[in-house]
Structure 1
Amino acid sequence: MTRRRRRRARRTRRAQRRGWITLAVFAAAFVVALGVLHFRNRPQGLPWTPLDLGQPVGWFTGSKLAALDGDYPQCRMLLERAGVRFADLEPIHKGQCGYADAVRLDPGGARAIGFDPVKPGMACSVAAALSIWEWDVVQPAALRHFGSRVATFEHFGTYNCRPIAGSTHLSQHSYARAIDIAGFVLADGRRITVARDWRGQDQKAAFLREVRDGACGLFSTTLSPDYNVAHHDHLHLDEQPRGGWRACR
């Protein structure tokens, strides 16, 4: 190869490198721009933004909800800011069991949903997660699958001083950090239950799986009939302190 050809080859390679670098810079700028636009609409996708119950669910919503455990004033403020009606419950201390930050969610305000058979008391962090779950997961799924909103959550309770089934470890129910959802009643009267409809192949089964999957991004632990026979008739949803068990099954 002559000297002239070698110089020409070097210029060509340099031009190609500059082209690839320019392309990489434009691609990176495009990705950053997309990220800015995305997180402008979903600030909960960023770890440093404060939790806002009225914002769409983001990547870090679940961890921010878990961080509310032990920060009762902040949790109450977030519920009030979101328009959630609730009543503070007197603390309970029973050996290792009990709670100091429980609330009872009341209908009205930003929440149209009711509870059956009774309005349960639950840790404030659970109430916050349950509110977002209703707004961003349950109601949109119900409208897509049934064309009707959910009017009532059916449940098996929250606070219960007892160990986990088949274990000597206390359940999160022992601290009011868990709720067991048994089913849903739609505004038009139709009823969906975990016990009857989970194993089906229809819209009810699809709805139940969708709301289970949506709960996984909000609660520390979400357990369904897919986990074990002890959960054949309910969805177990709980919020645990940082470092606690995490599961979505």
Structure 2
Amino acid sequence: MAGAAFLGWREYQRLLREEPQLFPWTPLDLADPIGSFTDDKLAALTTDAPRCRALLEAAETGDAPAPAIASDTPQCGYDDGMRLGAANGDRLDYGDTITACPVAAALTLWEREIVQPAAARHLGTSVVRIRTLGSYSCRRLYGRADGAWSAHATADAIDISGFELADGRTLTLTDSWNGTPEEAAFLREVRDGACTLFRTTLSPDYNAAHADHFHFDMASGRTAGWSICR
């Protein structure tokens, strides 16, 4: 029994060194693959902007801190904004987009671990640019006059409408969600992959309001392990 315990301890130590993403108590490292607890670790960054920015700097994404946005509306504004790919780095081109830092961190893993492998597998090329409908917007859900506030109100969400490819093609959610089998497979794979990283992932399968975009957010306040994927 002592020998078995020793071997089990050695295996645990090996996994801890080589596959830290398997454990909930290991710190997040954006160089690691996606694990079962990666989404919880990303969500925890909503209360630790310095740690989040340090992770992005270590990952050499090229993201740059953006000036804080204050609002007369208490539910709006942010102080952890990151301008995606503002400097030379490994980040895909998102145009002039600013998101809250945890969203930028999740996108880093999504690009590398989900988007580019799916593009190679289904489309035979790579993605060079992500088309977005923006991030920050001081508003309630669906722009209603009352009710819950959108994660966009703190830049903790991003809406993605399409993908520009290295071979010159552009895939949009409007035209390609039910496009060729290869296009449809790619878009569904990147949607499903986002579900392992973001607290909320919504797609054209959800409702008509999302027919032309993916909504990804890192909404704070949700308990560990709870996310929405539709």
Q: Shorter-chain TM-score: what band?
A: 0.7 to 0.9
Q: Which residue does 1:237 correspond to in 2?
A: 216
Q: Distance in 1 between matches of 2:187 and 2:147?
A: 30
Residues 212/38 of structure 1: CA separation in 2 closer, same or farther (3 Å cut)? farther
- 1:1-249 matches, within 5 Å, as 40-94=17-71, 95=73, 96-106=75-85, 109-115=88-94, 118-165=95-142, 168-200=147-179, 202-243=181-222, 246-249=227-230
Normalising by structure 1, we get a TM-score of: 0.81
Q: Distance in 2 between matches of 1:207 and 1:110?
A: 25
Unaligned 5+ residue runs, structure 2?
Answer: none
- SS of aligned partner of 1:69: helix
Aligned-partner residue type, residue 80 of structure 1? E
Normalising by structure 2, we get a TM-score of: 0.88
- Contact conserved, 1:139 with 1:149, CA < 8 A, in 2? yes
Residues 30/208 of structure 1: CA separation in 2 closer, same or farther (3 Å cut)? farther
Root-mean-square deviation (Å): 2.5
Aligned-partner residue type, residue 46 of structure 1? F
Q: In the TM superposition, what whole-angstrom CA distance separates every residue of 1:210-233 from its partner, at most 9, and x where no partner exists?
A: 000000010010000111110001
Report the Cα offset of residue 63 of structure 1.
0.3
- Contact conserved, 1:99 with 1:175, CA < 8 A, in 2? yes
- SS of aligned partner of 2:130: strand
- SS of aligned partner of 1:169: coil
- Contact conserved, 2:84 with 2:97, CA < 8 A, in 1? yes
Residues 47/89 of structure 1: CA separation in 2 closer, same or farther (3 Å cut)? same
Q: Distance in 2 between matches of 1:201 and 1:31?
A: 49
Larger Rg: 1
- SS of aligned partner of 1:58: coil
Residues 107/113 of structure 1: CA separation in 2 closer, same or farther (3 Å cut)? farther
Q: Distance in 2 between matches of 1:52 and 1:109?
A: 21
Unaligned 5+ residue runs, structure 1?
Answer: 1-21
Q: Bigger shift: 139-148 or 99-108?
A: 99-108
More strand by share: 1
Q: How many residues align?
A: 223
Q: Distance in 2 between matches of 1:183 and 1:29?
A: 51
